[in-house]
Amino acid sequence: MLRDIVLRLRSLFRRGAVERELDQELRFHLEREIARNVAGGMSESEATRRAKLALGGFEQIKEETRDARGVRFFETAFGDLRYAFRTLRNSPGFTAVAVISLALGVGANTAIFQLVNAVRLRTLPVKNPQELVEIHIADMSGARGGVQRKDAVTYPIWEQIRKRQEGFSGVFAWTNASFNLSPKGEVRSVPGLWVSGEFFEVLGIRPVIGRLFSAEDDYRGCGLPGAVISYSFWQSEFGGSSSAIGKTLIINGQSVSVMGVTQPEFFGLDVGHEYQIALPTCSIVPLWFNALDAGTFWWLSVMGRLKPGTTLEQASAQLGSLSPGIFLSTLPADYPPVSIEDYRRMKLTAHSAATGLSGLRDRFSDLLWMLEAFAKQVAHADNPVGLTFRMEATPYAPETVYEIVGTVGNAKYADIRDAMLPLFYLPFSQDPAPQLTDQLLIRSNLPLQSLLPLLQRAILETDSEARFEVYEFRDLIQGSLARERLMAALSTVFAGLAALLSAVGLYGVITYRDATERRDRHPHCPGC
């Protein structure tokens, strides 16, 4: 069998030599046959004629011998390929169209797949993502205060989970954030993460240089021990230089030193939110406010890695049984009395997390459930002006009675896709607990270019320490529709592409048929 392969390969790759040998062999045969005939008494010409007759045609023998060599398929294939290339070269227009069609088709398919892959299919770039589990509260309707994101818990609740859990080899808490890197004036925001000390360890993320947070870095009163930055941030801000470790960043006006850099594949846990800077949760105190003791600030997502041998159901059941104790011990002293029962009845459960959250799917749904009671009341009155309603006490304000002074038309609130929510508007001047940030809506017929310096001057004259961001409302709306616009654009492009390919294909088929028919009609004049 080896000999067979060797001979076939030889026939394939040393065709020249093999052909020459065969030719020589046949000539030898012919010579001897002629010589025999001559020795038998024939004339030279007669001998030659008879010899050729007896042997048969050279070409035919060579053909049959080539068949016998078993490489006929390849030889014809190569011949066909060469013919194809020649033909293509002779009609560059057709070749261009064919190549472009293929390229567009392949490219379009690849692009779509990559997009779907990035948004949906890609699992988290962490160690053993199938062991990761999300921990959240089954029914959040008992939550009062500020719910910052879907399925979030407060810091006290997180501390209890960390202390009491048993079914996980490790748990951690995290949330998305936006940090301002600009020391003053106009804001420069980068996406960031608040993470608990165990975050990187449990996920199995390693540093490229420097070190990452550990559980020891995360404690009450830690101040600003340092920041972990992403690989892309390291490249863009520090040029990938190893001297980045220890350098200072100004985050929300305070100095924080760079502690380490994460691996290039790690973008965070939110598909669509690529973090640049990560800070330990204990650093929220100097940078924002004391969220660590806030029982009504729901901001942390919690995840855990299952212990080997523990199933998701077991871990979930275990959390469920720990829940009464956890919620009893974390009940805030100033919690609205009407909601205390709901708070104590909350239950923690676990869900699989491997495909990662998608920022594109994440929606902040806040006000609807808070305002339903209000909406029902108002709906019964045709003209609610003059009616009053009571708002229950919160940790920041006592129970307050409001009088309705007017009505306005329905409007969208947070998201253009939401329904028109029932809303009431309260004046700033009555706000018992003003926020750290406010939004001003300015209508102007000046273009943004000319308006901007005027705004800057006006703001800084009022408060020289103020930090601000300016953008056009239209851009905000466009931005919120980014996903739909992307899909629409892609669909349009691909629809156009499909139409183009169909047209090209149709044209090709028709001209080919036409050419064939023409040739058949004039068999002796192919060019007619």
Partner 1 sequence: MSSSSRIDLPQGTLDLLILRTLALGAQHGWAISQRLQQISSEALQVQQGSLYPALHRLERRGWIRSSWDVSDNNRKAKFYQLSAAGRKQLEKETELWRKLVAAVGQVLDAV
Between 62 and 467, name the residue whose CB sits nearer to partner 1.
Answer: 62
b vs e for 392-418, b when ≥16 Cβ sit within 10 Å of the residue's Cβ? ebbbeeeeeeeeeeeeeeeeeeeeeee
Strand 185-186 and strand 227-229: the pairing is unpaired
183 in contact with partner 1 (CB under 8 A) = no
Q: Tell me the two tokens of residue 468.
A: 């601000």
Q: Is 373 helix (H, G, I), strand (E, B) or coil?
A: helix
46 in contact with partner 1 (CB under 8 A) = no
Answer for which of 16, 57, 309, 406 binds partner 1 (CB under 8 A) is: 57
Residues 467, 185: contact at Cβ < 8 Å? Answer: yes
21 in contact with partner 1 (CB under 8 A) = yes
Residue type, 81: L
105 in contact with partner 1 (CB under 8 A) = no
**Alpha carbon distance 111, 118 (integer Å):** 11
The least CB distance from residue 15 to partner 1, in Å, is: 14
**Alpha carbon distance 496, 501 (integer Å):** 9
24 in contact with partner 1 (CB under 8 A) = yes
b vs e for 301-340, b when ≥16 Cβ sit within 10 Å of the residue's Cβ? bbbbbbbeebeeeebbebbeebbeebbeebebeebbeeee
12 in contact with partner 1 (CB under 8 A) = no
Between 69 and 211, name the residue whose CB sits nearer to partner 1.
Answer: 69
Residues 234, 266: contact at Cβ < 8 Å? Answer: no
Q: Is 36 helix (H, G, I), strand (E, B) or coil?
A: helix
372 in contact with partner 1 (CB under 8 A) = no
> Which of these ranges, 48-56, 379-387, 391-399, 484-492, lies near partner 1 under the rule CB under 8 A?
48-56
The least CB distance from residue 271 to partner 1, in Å, is: 59
Residues 2, 64: contact at Cβ < 8 Å? Answer: no
Between 27 and 519, name the residue whose CB sits nearer to partner 1.
Answer: 27
Q: Tell me the two tokens of residue 528.
A: 């007619």
Give the distance, in angstroms, between the CA of residue 522 and the centroid of all CA atoms in the same chain.
60
Between 24 and 242, name the residue whose CB sits nearer to partner 1.
Answer: 24
Q: How many residues bind partner 1 (CB under 8 A)?
A: 29
Q: Tell me the two tokens of residue 40.
A: 């038998």
Q: Tell me the two tokens of residue 261.
A: 């850099």
Answer for which of 23, 44, 46, 64 binds partner 1 (CB under 8 A) is: 64
28 in contact with partner 1 (CB under 8 A) = yes
What is the phi/psi pair of residue 77, to 5°?
A: -60, -45
Answer for which of 20, 23, 43, 68 binds partner 1 (CB under 8 A) is: 68
Residue among 180, 183, 208, 374 nearest 288 (CA): 180
Between 2 and 333, name the residue whose CB sits nearer to partner 1.
Answer: 2
Between 57 and 386, name the residue whose CB sits nearer to partner 1.
Answer: 57
22 in contact with partner 1 (CB under 8 A) = yes
69 in contact with partner 1 (CB under 8 A) = yes
70 in contact with partner 1 (CB under 8 A) = yes
**Alpha carbon distance 502, 447 (integer Å):** 45
Answer for which of 1, 39, 411, 433 binds partner 1 (CB under 8 A) is: 1
> Which of these ranges, 55-63, 336-344, 421-429, 495-503, lies near partner 1 under the rule CB under 8 A?
55-63
Residue among 143, 131, 89 nearest 365 (CA): 143
29 in contact with partner 1 (CB under 8 A) = yes
Between 1 and 458, name the residue whose CB sits nearer to partner 1.
Answer: 1
- Phi/psi region, residue 444 (left: phi>0; alpha: psi -120 to 50; beta: rest), is beta
The least CB distance from residue 496 to partner 1, in Å, is: 56
Between 31 and 265, name the residue whose CB sits nearer to partner 1.
Answer: 31
Answer for which of 38, 42, 61, 455 binds partner 1 (CB under 8 A) is: 61
> Which of these ranges, 59-67, 98-106, 179-187, 198-206, lies near partner 1 under the rule CB under 8 A?
59-67
40 in contact with partner 1 (CB under 8 A) = no
Strand 301-306 and strand 168-180: the pairing is antiparallel
Answer for which of 40, 45, 60, 425 binds partner 1 (CB under 8 A) is: 60
Answer for which of 9, 23, 56, 248 binds partner 1 (CB under 8 A) is: 56
DSSP per-residue letters across 27-40: HHHHHHHHHHHHHT
- Show the DSSP H helices in 91-118 as ranges: 92-116
Q: Which residues bind partner 1 (CB under 8 A)?
A: 1, 3-4, 7-8, 21-22, 24-26, 28-29, 31-33, 35-36, 54-57, 60-61, 64-65, 67-70
